[in-house]
Structure 1
Amino acid sequence: MNMKFKNLEKKSPQPELLETVRAAQEGTANILGSMGEGFVFPVHEKVRNLEETPLALRPHSPEHTTRKELLRLSIRGLEEAWRIAIQPHIGTIRTSDIKRRKVGIDFFTEADTRSEGVIKDIFTQRFGDNVRIFGEESGIYLGDLNVRIGLRIDPVDGTESMKFGKPDWGIMVGAYEGTPEHERQICGVVYYPEHNTLAYSVDSAGVFISDVETGETRQIPHVPEQNSFDNVIIQMSEHKDPARRPVFAFVMTELAGKGARIRITSSACTDVLEALLTHGKRAMVIDGDYVRVDFIPYAFLEHLGYRIYEWGGALRQADDPAIADQQLIVVPPGEVGREILEITKRARQL
C-alpha cells in the first residue's frame, strides 16, 4: 500500500468535526423541508409531518383551519413583524424614538403598534372576520366573539430590554380554540430575533426550539423534579404598585433564606426560554401586573410538567382568561416548587 495513503487511513476525522458536519446536514434538511411545507423558519420534522386535523372556524361551519396552518401563519407573522415593523427602526428605538409615556418598567414604543398590525393583517387576510384577535394594545378581544379561533398577540414582550439594546425580548403569538371565556392553546410561538431562536408548542405534538440560522431543531423533553434550590434560579416579577412591595420583599427574603438564587425578570418570554434550555431549572414568582398575552409561553411549560399556582395555593392554567394580574408562581415538579408555594401562602396572610 502506498505509504501516503496508509498514513491517511490511520487518521480518522475528529468526532467533533463529524458532529458538526452531521448537524449542518440535518439543519439544511430542516430548512429545506420546512420551506417545502410553507414555513418561513425551520421547524421540527415532527411538526412538518403533523396530520391536518380540521378545526372549525365557526360552530357548524364547513370552513376550517388546521394546527399546521395556524403555526405557519403565526411564524410568518413573527418573521414579518421583525423584518418589516421592528428591525428597520430598532436603531432609532434604541436612541430617541420614545413616542409614548413610560408605564412602570416598560416602554410602549411605536414598534408595538407596527408589530401587532403586521401580525393581525396576516391572519385577517386569510380568515377575514372568522378570527377574533386579542392584542396587547387593545387589551380585549376584537372581532366576532362567536368564532371558534382566537389569536393573542404580544408584539414586543420585554420592551425595556429591546429599547436598551439587550437581546432578552421576543414577539409572541398564541392561537386558541374555543370561546373567549373557555379556550385552549392550539399552538404558540415566540420569536427571539436577537437570539435567532424560535420556541413553539403545538397541541398534542410537543414543545420545540429551532435555531433559525443553522436550522437545528429539537424537541424539549418533560422536565424532571427539582428538589434543591442549589439547582434552580428564581425569576421574580415585581408589581408596579409600591404598596405591594413589602409583601414581595418578604417572599424574596424567605427564598434567600432557603439559599435560592434570585433574579428580577426581564421578560416573560425570556424566563420561559431559560426554563426550556435548562430543562426545568427555573421557577417564576409573579406579583401580578401580567396581562393575558404574557401567558402565551407559560402554556409551553405546562405541557412539560410545570404547574401554575396562585400564591394562596389554587391551581391555575395559562389559557385561563381570568389569570391576568394575579399573584402566581410557575414551578417545575418537585420539592422546590412545594417550598416556594409554602412561602407565598405565608405571604398572603401578611
Structure 2
Amino acid sequence: MDDSTSTSPSTGTSTADVAELLALAVDVTTAAARLAARRRAEGVEVADTKSSLVDVVTHTDREVEDFLRSRLAELRPGDGFLGEEGDPDDSVTGLTWVVDPIDGTVNFLYGIPQWAVSVAVIEGGPDPLTWTALAACVVNPLSGEVYTASRGGGAWLGEDRLAPSAPASLAESLFATGFSYDADRRVEQAAVVARLIGRVRDVRRLGAASLDLCAVAAGRLDVYAERGLKPWDHAAGVLVAQEAGAVVRGEAGQAPNGQLVVASAPTVAREADVLLEDSQF
C-alpha cells in the first residue's frame, strides 16, 4: 500500500504524516540536545528547586524547553505543548508535543552521562490514559545515541532496529527502577527493592526514565518499573519500548501513566507482574 494514503485505524493519522512528525521530532530533539550539551560543558547552576531540595531545576532545563517550545510553535503552529518547566499550550490541531528538556537533571548536574532530551508527539492528550503517541525521539547527547519510534514503524537506535531481550527467567533478569524526590517515600521504595532484589539478577537505578525505557527496548535492561512519573518523563520512552516489542503497561491493565509504568521483556513479563505484586511495588 502507498504510504501516502495509508491511514492508522486507531488515530486517523496517515503514515506519511507520522513519518513527517517523526522527522521533525528528531530534528528538534537533536538540536535541543546539542544546546544542552554545550551548556553542560560551560558549567551548570541550579536555578530553583521544586518538590524538595533534591528536585532541582537548572537554567539549562528552562533554556532547552524554551528553545523547543519556540521552535515547535514556529514549525507546527496550533499544536499543543506540554513540558516540565512551563505552562502548557492547548492544542487546536489535536496534536500535542510532550517534552522533557533534560530527563535526569540530577545526573546532568553532577556530570553523570545518563541524561537525555525527550520529545514525543501525541494525539488526544494531555492525559496519558487517553492519548495515542505517534512519534518519539530520545537523545543522550553525551553518548551520541538517538532513539526513535513511530506508531507502527518500529523502534530504532540510529540505523539499528531495536528488540527487547529474551531472558529465560526472572532470576536471570536485570531490573531497574527509580526513586522519588521525597525522602520518606524513598525509604519506602528502598524497602520494596529489598523485597524483590533476591528474585532478579540485579537491580539498577540509573536516574532517567526515558533512557531506562529505551534500555528495555534495546535489551540492556529486562524489566523497568516506576511509580510517580510525570507525562513528560515517559511519553517518548514508552513508545520506543512498545514499538520495540516490550510489554508495557500501567496499573490494572491501564495505559502507562503517573500511577505506574512497567516495561518488560516478553519472556518474563508475567513473572515480573507477579514479582511487583508480591513485593507490594
Q: TM exceeds 0.5?
A: yes
Q: Name the counterpart of 1:330.
A: 263
Instruction: Give the whole-Å Cα distance in 2 for the aligned partners of 1:105 and 1:51.
Output: 47
- The 1:203–1:285 alpha-carbon spacing in structure 2 relative to 1, beyond 3 Å, is closer
Cα deviation for residue 247 of structure 1 reads 4.2
Instruction: Give the whole-Å Cα distance in 1 for the aligned partners of 2:65 and 2:240.
Output: 22
Residue deviations 1:239-295 (CA, integer Å, cap 9, x gap): 23344345423431232222430111321122133223326x421121x23100111
Q: Name the counterpart of 2:60.
A: 111
CA RMSD of aligned residues (A): 3.0
Contact 1:101 1:107 in 2 (8 A): yes
Contact 1:199 1:207 in 2 (8 A): yes
Q: Which runs of 5+ in 1 are unaligned?
A: 1-49, 56-64, 211-216
Q: Name the counterpart of 1:47.
A: none
Instruction: Give the whole-Å Cα distance in 1 for the aligned partners of 2:155 and 2:203.
Output: 26
Specify the structure having the higher radius of gyration (Cα): 1
Q: Name the counterpart of 1:294.
A: 233
Contact 1:149 1:176 in 2 (8 A): yes
- The 1:109–1:244 alpha-carbon spacing in structure 2 relative to 1, beyond 3 Å, is closer
Q: Which runs of 4+ in 1 moved over 6 A?
A: none
Q: Name the counterpart of 1:156.
A: 102
Out of 237, 245, 254, the residue aligned to residue 316 of structure 1 is: 254
Q: Name the counterpart of 2:11.
A: none
Aligned: 1:78 with 2:29? yes
Q: Which runs of 5+ in 2 are unaligned?
A: 8-15
Task: Answer 1 or 2: higher relative contact order, Cα 8 Å, separation at least 6.
Answer: 2
Counterpart amino acid of residue 30 in structure 2: E
* Normalised TM-score (structure 1): 0.69
Written as runs of structure 1 = structure 2, the 5 A alignment for 1:183-332 is: 183-210=131-158, 217-221=159-163, 223=164, 225-245=166-186, 247-278=188-219, 281-286=221-226, 288-295=227-234, 296-310=236-250, 314-318=252-256, 323-324=257-258, 326-332=259-265
Provide the identity percentage: 18
Cα deviation for residue 342 of structure 1 reads 2.2
Aligned: 1:120 with 2:58? no
Counterpart amino acid of residue 138 in structure 2: V
* Normalised TM-score (structure 2): 0.84
Instruction: Give the whole-Å Cα distance in 2 for the aligned partners of 1:253 and 1:186.
Output: 37
Cα deviation for residue 53 of structure 1 reads 5.3
